[in-house]
Chains A and B, each alone.
Chain A
Amino acid sequence: QVQLQESGPGLVKPSETLSLTCTVSGGSIGTYYWSWIRQPPGKGLEWIGYIYNSGSHMSNPSLKSRVTTSVDMSKNQFSLRLSSVTAADTAVYYCARDGGGSHGLDYWGQGTMVTVSS
């Protein structure tokens, strides 16, 4: 059974960079796409971006200039960096296994709350 676990600081100061890591267990990170999704308190889901083991990636156009994703095959982890954060970036951040355009996001982490505040 594939399991995902997000980790990272729960509090980030405005203008700084949010950094999160997702650790995958129960399967290899090498054969799927891996996505990040966020959900502001009381609001809907927003897709942030995905990465593949080759390093190919794509981001939400609304966030593209601030998003960096990476993958560490040796640790079975992938990571998200979101720069120049503001209060609007406060959200629960999820990582998920991405089956691609036809298969959806079939395994999700439990999510981690990140608050942007000074």
Chain B
Amino acid sequence: SYELTQPPSVSVSPGQTVSITCSGDKLGDKYACWYQQKPGQSPVLVIYQDSRRPSGIPERFSGSNSGNTATLTITGTQSMDEADYYCQAWDSSTWVFGGGTKLTVL
């Protein structure tokens, strides 16, 4: 079965730029999505089709996908961005989630 690998945790200082990676075999040949989940809340889609932002998602969130790695980048990170982030890809007509990355804004 297809697997997506994320770092368990990443930290960043307020105002800085942070990137969260998601690795999978030939992931660049598939579309990647990213979700933000804050404690006690449902996940929120922040990136789809590798780099598109849904309505209402701040411009500081961006995405890319090439080779075996998809990347979520937050530019000018704010304290409100502290959350768990999950990548997701479509493989063989099924969805696969990465294990999640806890982003800490120090």
Contacts and interface: CB of A to CB of B under 8 A. Distances in A.
Contacts of B90: 100-102
A45 B97 contact: yes
A61 B90 CA distance: 14
Q: Binding site of B, secondary structure by majority: helix, strand, loop or mixed?
A: strand
A20 to B, nearest CB: 15
B94 A47 contact: yes
Interface residues of B, number: 24
Contacts of A35: 95
A46 B45 CA distance: 15
A105 B54 CA distance: 11
Contacts of B1: 61-62
Interface in B66-84: none
Contacts, number: 62
A16 B94 CA distance: 26
Nearest to B34: A104
A99 interface: yes
Contacts of B48: 99, 102-104, 106
Nearest to B96: A47
Contacts of A103: 48-49
A52 to B, nearest CB: 11
Nearest to A105: B45
Nearest to B30: A101
Given A99-B48, A104-B33, 14 more contacts: A44-B86, A47-B95, A60-B94, A61-B1, A102-B31, A103-B49, A104-B48, A104-B88, A105-B35, A105-B43, A105-B45, A105-B88, A108-B43, A110-B42
Interface of A: 35, 37, 44-47, 50, 58-62, 94, 98-106, 108-111
17 contacts: A37-B43, A44-B98, A45-B35, A45-B86, A61-B94, A94-B42, A94-B43, A102-B49, A103-B48, A104-B88, A105-B33, A105-B35, A105-B43, A105-B45, A106-B54, A108-B43, A108-B44
Interface of B: 1, 30-31, 33, 35, 37, 42-45, 48-49, 54, 86, 88, 90, 93-100
